[in-house]
């Protein structure tokens, strides 16, 4: 297997820069997730690794060796796509055998490798069938198998599960994860789905408009987002981001008619004289109906409406001219239109610079 490094890689299409000065090191045996909204450059980054696009600046290295001038077929990377890209007229066996035939492996060796991978992926019973007779999940497993038989240094996954229904997505996700651990393979997995990224990744890089916003473990990304983009991209329901102004020594004003006292633990950060506008970030699960700590902040809100989500409710409340999302238990202790107080521990709040969106606390 292999480690993979980007050094100051940039790529433009015409005048549009799609990848900006990308620096990244993916470790041997790591499942690394690239997460970002549609159009942020994820597929382009994979295509640069596979050699399907040329970079404009910088270097990509596999095991320390620059691959800029290595032909795609000699890079030893395998890519799995959302649309499977299986050969429709070939049987599953022939689909799996194809990359080996191209490489002129002897027939008995091909048989051995295909049988082994088919067994690993639960495809043994399906080898004589054609792709169109398979379910989406089975087809995706064949696509995976076709990548595996090549024994590549690096696997690239481009939103491989987005064509599957929700249940299959979760089970195939678990299969990929366990396969990755069994093989100890280096995998780069692209998705726009934050839940998929959090559940799969050893580490995640969050991308926006071709720039890395943050690299970290799922826990770090969730608990310590680098900026408001990362904070709002990860987590469901979305984090509450309240635009606030430090109005005097003791309170910050939220919108026009709400304010919260400045918590003791925020003072040093906020009273440096430089910060006037901040964004207060509160995850929906950190808002409670009851006080838990003496220094909890109190938000006076009104319930707008509630959403049922099976195991819980999501409450939407107004706070001044802002809307708050609150993750609630199975029971909702309040009705629409009711005025309620919500409590949050200041330790569980995030503070961002109101001008550039960087996290300050």
Per CB under 6 A, residues contacting ligand ADP are 13, 18, 36, 38-44
Task: Compute the least distance from the CB of residue 197 to ligand ADP, in Å.
Answer: 13
Residue 23, number of CB atoms within 10 A of its CB: 12
Binding residue for Mg ion, selected from 9, 24, 43, 117, defined by CB under 5 A: 43
CA–CA separation, 98 vs 52, rounded Å? 20
Through-space distance between the first and last CA atoms of the chain, rounded to whole angstroms: 39
Residue 93 CA to residue 130 CA, distance in Å, equals 9
Q: How far is the CB of 226 from ligand ADP (least distance, A)?
A: 19
Cβ atoms of 288 and 340 within 8 Å: the answer is no
Give least dist CB 46 to ligand ADP, A: 8
- Our CB check for Mg ion shows the closer of 173 and 359 to be 173
Task: State in angstroms the smallest separation of the CB of 347 from ligand ADP.
Answer: 35
- Find which of Mg ion, ligand ADP, none residue 39 binds, CB within 5 to 8 Å per kind: ligand ADP
Count the alpha carbons within 13 Å of 142 in the hemisphere toward its beta carbon. Answer: 31
Closest to Mg ion by CB, 43 or 180: 43
3-state secondary structure 129-195: CCHHHCCHHHHHHHHHHHHHHCCCCEEEEECCCCCCCHHHHHHHHHHHHHHHHHHCCEEEEEECCHH
Decide whether 10 or 63 has the Cβ nearer to ligand ADP.
10
Closer CB to ligand ADP, 44 or 115, in the complex: 44
As measured in angstroms, the least distance from the Cβ of 55 to ligand ADP is 13
Report the residue number, 13 or 308, with the smaller CB distance to ligand ADP: 13
Which residue ranges make up the site for Mg ion (CB under 5 A)? 43
């Amino acid at each position: 297997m292999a480690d993979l490094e980007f050094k100051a890689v940039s790529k433009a299409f015409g005048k549009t820069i799609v990848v900006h000065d990308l620096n990244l090191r993916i470790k041997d045996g790591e499942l690394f997730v690239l997460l970002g909204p549609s159009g942020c450059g994820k597929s382009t980054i994979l295509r640069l690794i596979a050699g399907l696009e040329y970079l404009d600046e910088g270097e990509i290295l596999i095991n320390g060796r620059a691959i800029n001038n290595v032909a795609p077929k000699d890079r030893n990377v395998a890519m799995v796509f959302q649309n499977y890209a299986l050969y429709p007229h070939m049987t599953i066996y022939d689909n799996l055998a194809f990359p080996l035939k191209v490489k002129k492996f002897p027939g008995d060796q091909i048989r051995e490798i295909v049988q082994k991978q088919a067994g690993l992926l639960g495809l043994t019973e399906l080898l004589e069938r054609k792709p169109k007779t398979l379910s989406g999940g089975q087809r995706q497993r064949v696509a995976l198998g076709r990548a595996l038989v090549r024994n590549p240094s690096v696997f690239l996954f481009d939103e491989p599960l987005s064509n599957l229904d929700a249940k299959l997505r979760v089970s195939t996700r678990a299969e990929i994860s366990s396969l990755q651990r069994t093989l100890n393979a280096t995998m780069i997995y692209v998705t726009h789905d934050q839940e998929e990224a959090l559940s799969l990744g050893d580490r995640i890089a969050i991308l926006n408009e071709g720039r890395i916003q943050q690299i970290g473990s799922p826990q770090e990304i969730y608990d310590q987002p680098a900026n408001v983009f990362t904070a709002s991209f990860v987590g469901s329901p979305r984090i509450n981001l309240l635009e606030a102004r430090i109005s005097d020594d003791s309170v910050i004003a939220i919108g026009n008619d709400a304010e919260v006292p400045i918590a003791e633990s925020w003072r040093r950060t906020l009273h440096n004289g430089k910060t006037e506008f901040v964004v207060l970030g509160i995850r929906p699960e950190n808002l409670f109906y009851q006080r838990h700590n003496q220094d909890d902040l109190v938000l006076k809100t009104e319930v707008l409406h509630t959403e049922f989500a099976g195991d819980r409710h999501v409450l939407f409340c107004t706070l001044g001219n802002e809307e708050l999302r609150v993750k609630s238990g199975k029971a909702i202790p309040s009705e629409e239109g009711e005025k309620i107080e919500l409590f949050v521990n200041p330790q569980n709040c995030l503070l961002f610079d109101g001008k550039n969106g960087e996290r300050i606390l």
